[in-house]
Structure 1
Amino acid sequence: MTYAHGLVIGKFYPPHSGHRHLIDVAAAACARVSVVVAASSVESIPLPLRTAWLRETHEQPHVEIIPVVDDVEIDYESDEIWSAHVAAFRAGLAMRSGLGVPVPPVDAVFSSEAYGPELAERFSAVHVPVDPPRDRFPVSGTAIRDDPLGNWEFLAPPVRAYLARRVVVVGAESTGTTTLARALAAHYAERGGVWATTRWVPEYGRTFTEEKLAAARRAADDPSLWLDDLVWESADFTEIAEHHAALEDAAARSGSPLLVCDTDAFATAVWHERYLGTPAPEVEAVHERNPHHLWILTDPEGVPFEQDGWRDGESIRSWMSGRFEEELEKRGLPHITVTGSHEHRLTTAVAATDAMLGKGWSFNTPLTP
């Protein structure tokens, strides 16, 4: 290794491929690398989240990600302000020493920024420039905040999952939710470009039910058991909601800026009410942790009921559809209801999704010079 202790400092608001390259270069040249995530309180992506993203994407054992709150204004001409920033960075490094982690002096500062040499001098270290013109990765945090779509290729999987806009198709049984979810994702994938990897997430509840029935048949050694023989518990619905949320995140990490979901934890909470007659606080907690941006409710009117052997029956469809509508309204969740033919439903869903995407992404303005 060329250096004992390398230092990388940035906002990582959000992290991108250029940041990854910068940290990897430092990791290849140093016995130890400290990456200081210097975030201000005005920024809208939480510091713990940025820290977690970097820890996930940099698993090298000698690379440590250190979160630091730095609300000092930025003025590269002020010695006093420079000193305040450096004091905050040193405090972050010193905290590791206080935890019993020996931290050797910084002997190299890696940076792609114009302020890199000054920062290195204040640490009595050498400056190692890493692609200052950004030829290898022509991207910046500012560029991503201004245009996430145009810079999607530079985002790491967890950042994509965070930024992806999620549309949920919900509805009573046999109202075309799966058909519409699949068609909506295919419509955007056919647009190509950044949308080519648009994915949809099938309903996990159906899979869970099939597995639950198979397990019950094995336990009773009775292949004649059917859905009415199953005993449902709140824990079942919680497992469905959590597993479905995990499938969503996995798909969003490798997909486009849009993810289409066939049901979600909100819908699972309504189904919990249907089967158990009570609220589902643990399922609601999953819903709160996993934000979505648009709900599309499939109206049963005009859709022939198809009994595939796994459904309650046609008599329950109108009641379930009404409960979804009531809950969407009560919670103030952005939603539309689609009616008519499949083609009309898809056209309506696309228009609503385009309108949602047209609102873009909002980031608080960071501290700037």
Structure 2
Amino acid sequence: MDTFDSKNELDDRVVGMKKIGLVLGKFAPLHKGHQLLIETALAEMDLLKLIIYDSPEVTRIPLAVRSGWIRCLYPEVEVIEAWNGPSQVGYSQELMRQHERYVIEELGVAGITHFYSSEPYGEHMSHALGAVDRRVDVERIQIPISATKIRRDSHGYKDYMESLVYRDLITNVAILGAPSTGKTTLSRALAGCFNTQWMPEYGREYWEKYQIDRKLQPHELIHIAEQHLNMETTRLNVANRYLFTDTTALTTATFCRYYHGYVPERLQLLADMSPSRYDLTFLCDIDIPYEDTWDRSGDGQRNVFQRQIVQMLGYYKIPYIVLSGTLEQRVATVSSVLSRYQKYTNILEVLNCNPL
């Protein structure tokens, strides 16, 4: 078996040839051990191909998300999405032949000179490809991590993942509602309940410093939406399973339309991102007493803003769950949904199978 543990020990058979490497896996999720493998191959090869399996039996993270990580971090890699690859793994002759036939016959992979892995399957796959069996960090000494460990405790092993990968493992929960509907109190309480982060409404902080006659100009509302997203991303990088986000660009756009009669293109673009940015959306009801403070515009306006937010959610076809009652009741409702929801699954199936 031609197994090499350093880049200087290359097979004489491929000296002078264009070196084409191949890596395959589920990358569920992509971690720094995978990256060591990919980066080693890139340093040694003229061209690197990477096969990524769909593997719904192992992970709910969509194939498009996982392949997107690799394309973003390593644009020079040729990524091949394997949608119907064998679901079983093992070292029986039958299973090994299934994987070999799939890669070579169904995907049509050919011309590989080096097969890169950190696993025993490197032996049979490289032999089938007629390639050098190149193993990297087999004992996990350089990068002591596995995807299995991360799937069990993503927060505990977050340092073994790039930020853009870790963020995609966090369930981003949007808490919406008109002013004085309890969004801030609820978001803070949920963060404490789940030992994680929450994203305060940046617009409120900005408004208190810079408002004139209780209004902000369109360019200021654009700034608010942009800065809120930047701060939200920072919190996603350190959140534990969930991030509870108080208000989104949808609300900022709603306020802009109400006060100025239009939404600037940039703010509209940020609002348009909301349907794909948030995994779950909760709408705080107006069934709690209105807190008539100097910085608010009255209970009547609260009703108007609430109707506008509801219509905005309808416009974007965003499913949402209304939260009514006391703080304790609202926390209980959110907790009940989260106990049954998993990121990248259909929330409507959760609610239909297990009505609240």
The normalised TM-score by structure 1 is 0.67
- What is the CA distance between 1:41 and its match in structure 2? 6.9
1:183 aligned residue (179, 189, 195): 189
Amino acid at match of 1:337: L
Query: In the alignment, is residue 299 of structure 1 matched against residue 286 of structure 2?
Result: yes
Amino acid at match of 1:334: Y
- What is the CA distance between 1:277 and its match in structure 2? 3.4
Q: Is 1:173–1:311's contact at 8 Å kept on the other side of the alignment?
A: yes
Give secondary structure in 1 for the equivalent of 2:193: helix
Q: Which residues of 2 match residues 128-277 of structure 1 at below 5 A?
A: 128=135, 130-131=137-138, 136-140=144-148, 148=151, 150-154=153-157, 156=161, 157-189=163-195, 198-209=196-207, 213=211, 226-227=212-213, 230=216, 232-233=217-218, 236-277=220-261
Q: Is 2:283–2:321's contact at 8 Å kept on the other side of the alignment?
A: yes
1:95 equivalent in structure 2: none
- What is the CA distance between 1:264 and its match in structure 2? 0.8
1: CA distance, partners of 2:306 / 2:314: 12
Give secondary structure in 2 for the equivalent of 1:15: coil
- What is the CA distance between 1:305 and its match in structure 2? 2.0
Structure 2: gaps spanning 5 or more residues: 1-6, 11-18, 87-94, 347-356
Q: Which structure has the higher relative contact order (CA within 8 Å, separation 6+)?
A: 1
2:77 equivalent in structure 1: 65
Structure 1 pair 131/314, CA: closer, same or farther in 2 (3 Å)? Answer: same
2:273 equivalent in structure 1: 286
1: CA distance, partners of 2:33 / 2:197: 26
Q: Which residues of 2 match residues 299-318 of structure 1 at below 5 A?
A: 299=286, 301-307=288-294, 310-318=295-303
- What is the CA distance between 1:249 and its match in structure 2? 2.3
Deviations 1:92-136 (A, max 9, x none): xxxxxxxxxxxxx74x43313332112323243133253369993
Identity %: 22
- What is the CA distance between 1:65 and its match in structure 2? 3.0
2: CA distance, partners of 1:283 / 1:25: 38
- What is the CA distance between 1:267 and its match in structure 2? 2.0
Query: In the alignment, is residue 338 of structure 1 matched against residue 353 of structure 2?
Result: no
Deviations 1:143-189 (A, max 9, x none): 76xxx454443452323311311222222223432222122212211
Could you say what the CA RMSD is over the residues aligned between the two structures, in angstroms?
3.8
Q: Is 1:169–1:295's contact at 8 Å kept on the other side of the alignment?
A: yes
1: CA distance, partners of 2:251 / 2:215: 23
Structure 1 pair 57/153, CA: closer, same or farther in 2 (3 Å)? Answer: farther
Q: Is 1:8–1:34's contact at 8 Å kept on the other side of the alignment?
A: no
Give secondary structure in 2 for the equivalent of 1:251: helix
Structure 1 pair 306/127, CA: closer, same or farther in 2 (3 Å)? Answer: same
Q: Is 2:323–2:333's contact at 8 Å kept on the other side of the alignment?
A: no
Structure 1: gaps spanning 5 or more residues: 91-104, 190-197, 214-225, 365-369
Structure 1 pair 174/89, CA: closer, same or farther in 2 (3 Å)? Answer: farther
2: CA distance, partners of 1:363 / 1:32: 38
Query: In the alignment, is residue 77 of structure 1 matched against residue 97 of structure 2?
Result: yes
The normalised TM-score by structure 2 is 0.70
Equivalent residue pairs, number:
310
1: CA distance, partners of 2:189 / 2:26: 39
2: CA distance, partners of 1:173 / 1:86: 55
Amino acid at match of 2:288: E
- What is the CA distance between 1:49 and its match in structure 2? 3.8
